[in-house]
Structure 1
Amino acid sequence: MIPDLNQLRCFIAVGEELHFGRAAARLFMTQSPLSRQIRMLEESLGVRLFDRNSRVVRLTAAGTALLDDARRLLALAGHAVDVARRIDKGVSGKVRVGFTAVAGYELVPNLIARAMQALPEIEVTLHEMVTVAQIEALQAGTIDLGFLRPLPDLDPELQWRPAVSEPLLLAMHATHALAARERIAAEDLAAQTFIQYSATEGKYFHDLIGSVLAGAGRPPRVVQQMSQTHSVLALVRAGLGLALVPASARHLHFPGVALRPIWRDDVRAELHLVWRDANRNPACRVFADFAAMYLAGAADHGPTPPAQG
C-alpha cells in the first residue's frame, strides 16, 4: 500500500527531529494525531519505523532506508504540483508554431530568440508550411499558432492579429535595364517576361500580384509560376523574367538580383498571426500575447528601408 503524502510528511518530521514534541510543533499539530499518523504508516507498510520509549526515539533500519526516499517523494510531489500550476497559467508548456517561408527569413527567428529569453519555460517547435496547410493544421489542432497570409472567408473559429505589412518590390537581374531606375512605373512592365506565384500553393501572392498587373495597362507575359519566393528569385537570377516579391525577400540576399520599389505604394503584403479560439493550451495565449507585444515593438521602429540590389 502506498502511503499518503501527509503520512510521509509526518514521518520525515519525526525522522529528522527524533522527538515527537518538536516534530509536532514543527508541523503545527499536537503529538496525539502525529503519533496516530506514524502508527497508520507503520501498519500500512507492515514495518516498524521507530524504536521509541519515554526517553528516546530512534529510526530503525527500515526507517533509515525510507527517510531519504520519503524526502525525494515529497519533493517530487511538490515539483509536480508546481509544474501543473505553471502549465495551467501558461508560464510553462509547449507551443507549436506554423510559418510561411517568407516569415522564416527574419520575423520568426527573431521572435523565437526573444521568446526564449522572455518565456524560458515555453518550448516552441516550428513547422514551415504554406498558408492553406497552416489553416488545416490549426483546424486539426496539430499546430497552436500560425504566421500566414490572410485568406477570404477565414474560419470564424480562428482568431487573428496583424503581424507584418510590407510593400511589394520588383525583382530583376542586376544587369537588366530597369535596375538603373530608382522606382518602377506600370508602363515599365509592358512586354516583359514575368515570373508569377502559383495559383494554388502561392494563391495569396498570385491574387495580390495579379491585381497589380491587371492595372498595369499592358501586363507582362507570365512564363513560369512558382510556390515559394526563393524559387521565384532563383528564376529571376537566371534571367528568365521579372517578378514582384514581398520586401522581406531582401533577406535572402540573392546575388545578381536587384530589388526596386514599384508605383503602387498602397498595395501591401499582409502576414497575420492566427490561432484557434477553442485552443485549450494556456501557453498558446501567453505566447500569442507576447508575439503581439513583440510585433508592436518592431513596428515602432519604423518602415522597412528600401531594398538595394
Structure 2
Amino acid sequence: MTFTLEQLRGFVAVAEELHFSRAAARLAMTQPPLSRQIQKLERAVDAQLLIRDNRRVTLTAAGEVFLVEARRLLSLAETAPELARRVSSGSSGVVRVGFTAAATYGILGRVLDELADQLPDVDLELAEMVTREQVAALVNEEVDLGLGRPPVDDATFGSRLLHREGLLVAAPAGHPLLALDRAATAADVVREPVIAHSPTQARYFYDLVAGTVPIAHENTVHSVSQVLTMVWLVAAGRGIAFVPESAARLRIEGVGFVRLETAVPKPVELHLLWLRESANPALWRTLDVLEACSPLE
C-alpha cells in the first residue's frame, strides 16, 4: 500500500467539502487531477472511500475511518520536521536524571522547576541512586545527568558544582548539644554515640565526617547509607548523626540540629555529573540552563 501526502490532502479536502469543485478550488488545482488523486488513493488502500454521483459526494464507512487517520498522518507530517529540529537543538527530548536521596530535601525541586520553566518540552525521567550507582548508570547510558557527590573521573565525566551547604549535628530533643549558643566543635561530639555513614554506601559523607571528627570505632552505634534513616534513628534516641544542612527540612519530631564547626564553612557539595561523550542534545541544553543558577546556596 503506497500513497502520497498530496493524495491524502486531496482526500481530506473532498471529505470536508463534500464537493470536488470546492475542494479543487481550496487546493488551487483543477478538478480532473484531484479526481485522479482520489482514484489512485482508493486503489492504494484497496477500499472505496467516497460515493460520488451527479448531485453530491458522501463518505463510505471506510472513508469515515480513513479520514481520521489521514488527518493524523498529515498532522504528523507537518509537525515532524519541527520536532526533529527541536530534538536536534536540544529544546525537546528526554533527559534521564539520577539523584541522591539527600538531593530531594530542597535542591532537586528547584532544579526541576527551573528546567520546567526554561525547557518545557524536555521530559525529565527521575531515578534515585547513590553516586556510585549514578556513575555506573552514566557509563552504561542509562541516565544522562547525575546529581551526586564528588570526585569523579575527569577524563570520562563532566562535573559542575551545583550546591553547597553546611554540616549539622542531629541530636535527640533535650540533648545538651542543642543548648549550645555556638557551632559544635569536634571536642563537643567526639565521645558521643554516633549513627555513622556507611564507609561503602555513603563514602563521600563518611570521608567528610572522618576528616572533621575523629570518631572512635567503639562510639559508632550504627552505620547506614541514607540521611533520612539516620535522622529517624536520632529521633529514637540511638545517638547523634552528622547530616547536611538540608536535612533540617525534614522536621522529624524529637530531633534538633546544631551547626558543626568545619574547616570549610560549607563543605557538603552536590555536583552535576554527565558523560563527556553524551550524544543527547537535550542534555547540553539542560546544562546550559542550570549553569545560570549554579551554584545554588
Report deviation, 1:30. Answer: 7.0
Matches within 5 A, 1:194-213: 194-213=194-213
Distance 2:286 2:85 in 1: 17
- Amino acid of the residue matched to residue 97 of structure 2? V
Distance 1:170 1:49, change over 3 A: closer
The answer to whether structure 1 residue 170 and structure 2 residue 169 are counterparts is yes
Distance 2:128 2:49 in 1: 60
Distance 1:254 1:43 in 2: 71
Report deviation, 1:244. Answer: 2.1
Distance 1:231 1:73, change over 3 A: closer
5+ unaligned residues in a row in structure 2: which ranges?
Answer: none
Distance 2:110 2:191 in 1: 40
Corresponding residue of 1:96: 96
Corresponding residue of 1:286: 285
- Amino acid of the residue matched to residue 277 of structure 1? R
Matches within 5 A, 1:265-280: 265-266=263-264, 268-280=267-279
Distance 2:124 2:97 in 1: 7
Helix, strand or coil for the counterpart of 2:196?
strand
Corresponding residue of 1:139: 139
Distance 1:61 1:189 in 2: 83
After superposition, the C-alpha distances for 1:220-259 in whole angstroms (9 at most, x for unaligned) are: 9433322111222233333333332211111111322222
Corresponding residue of 2:119: 119
Distance 1:289 1:158 in 2: 16
The answer to whether structure 1 residue 9 and structure 2 residue 28 are counterparts is no
Corresponding residue of 2:237: 239
Report deviation, 1:276. Answer: 1.8
Distance 1:12 1:175, change over 3 A: closer
- RMSD, aligned CA: 3.4
- Amino acid of the residue matched to residue 159 of structure 1? G
Preserved CA contact (<8 Å) 1:145 1:273:
yes
Preserved CA contact (<8 Å) 1:198 1:227:
yes
Distance 1:183 1:220 in 2: 25
- Amino acid of the residue matched to residue 180 of structure 1? A
Distance 1:194 1:219 in 2: 10
After superposing the two structures, state which structure 1 stretch, 96-105 or 182-191, moved more: 182-191
Helix, strand or coil for the counterpart of 2:212?
helix
Report deviation, 1:28. Answer: 5.5
Helix, strand or coil for the counterpart of 2:147?
strand
Corresponding residue of 2:224: 226
After superposition, the C-alpha distances for 1:147-176 in whole angstroms (9 at most, x for unaligned) are: 10112x526232222111111122222322
Distance 1:35 1:246, change over 3 A: same
- Amino acid of the residue matched to residue 120 of structure 1? P
Distance 1:79 1:143, change over 3 A: same
Distance 1:236 1:269, change over 3 A: same
Distance 1:74 1:259, change over 3 A: same
Distance 1:192 1:40, change over 3 A: closer
Distance 1:60 1:2, change over 3 A: farther
- Amino acid of the residue matched to residue 229 of structure 2? S
Preserved CA contact (<8 Å) 1:93 1:123:
yes
Preserved CA contact (<8 Å) 2:91 2:121:
yes
Corresponding residue of 2:77: 77
TM-score (norm 1): 0.77
Preserved CA contact (<8 Å) 2:20 2:31:
no
Preserved CA contact (<8 Å) 1:194 1:241:
yes
Helix, strand or coil for the counterpart of 2:292?
helix
Distance 2:169 2:100 in 1: 20
Report deviation, 1:289. Answer: 2.9
After superposition, the C-alpha distances for 1:79-124 in whole angstroms (9 at most, x for unaligned) are: 4554444433333333221111110111112332443444333332
